Structure 1
C-alpha cells in the first residue's frame, strides 16, 4: 500500500484582516519563539549520547519537522491570499465578511460570519465561504429562503439579518 495522497483541494484565496493577522502571528510564534526553543532542546538532548533511546531528541526532531512544515505552508499561503478589507457597496446581500443571522424551520436562530477557509471556526460563529451553508447564503437577501443538504437530509433556513462590520451580538 503506498503512502501517496492526492493533493488537497485548495480553498478560496480570501481572508479577513483579522484572519491574516492571526496567521501572521502564528507564523511569527512558530519561527521566532517555538522553533528556537525546540532547536535548543534537541541540541541539549544530542549532547547526552545515545539518540535512539533519547525521548527529548526523538520528540524534538519530530516537532521540528512539524514546525517547518507548518511554516512552509503558512509562508506560501500568506503570499497567495487576498485580504478583503472593504465592505461591498450592496450591503443588503450576503457577501464575504458578512454577519448573517439565519433561522431554521423550528425557529432556532444562528449567527455566522462568512470568512475564508483558513480562519473558519464554527464554535465562534465563523463559517468558511467554501462550506455548503455559506455557498447557499452568498448573494441572498433578508427573508430569502435557502436549502442546504445535510447528512440528516434537506434543511431549510431563512435569512433574518445581514450585518457588516463587527459582530452584531
Structure 2
C-alpha cells in the first residue's frame, strides 16, 4: 500500500512541467500512454507496481534537486542585478537569436565571478527599437552606427538578467 508521502511525490511528478514522454522515458516505459492515463485519471496510482513507484520517487528527488539548484541560481542572479556579485569583464560572449519575420535579438553574456554560471543581458529598449526600424527599412545601419555606444552598458541593460547558462550548457530564459 502506498503512503501519503509517496502518493504526494507521484502526483508532484505528474503535475510537473515534465512532458509525459520524459516521465515515461525516465520510468522505463516504451511509450507515454501509461503516463497520459495516470494524468487523465484513467489509471489508478494505487495500482502501480513497486518498481514503478520507486522510479517515480527517484524522479521526484531529481526534480527537487533541480528546483534547489534553480533557486540557488536565482539567488545569485538577484545578487548580480543588485551589483553584490561581480561579472568577469574579460571578453564577454555574445548571443544572437535570428527571426524570419523580425529583427534579431542580441545579448551580451558574462561569467559570474566565483560561479560556474553565465548570465545574459538584453539590449536596452531604444537599441532594440532601432534594430526593428532598420529591419523594417525606416532606418539604416548608418543610424545604428551614429548611436553612441562607448561601452557595453550603453547598449545592454545590466540591471536585468534575462537568461542564464549553468554547467549543463542549456540556456534557461527567465
From the CA coordinates, give the structure whose radius of gyration is larger.
2
Task: Provide TM-score, normalisation by structure 1.
Answer: 0.28
Task: Provide TM-score, normalisation by structure 2.
Answer: 0.27
Whose helix proportion is higher, 1 or 2?
2
Bigger RCO (CA 8 Å, 6+ sep): 1
Whose strand proportion is higher, 1 or 2?
1
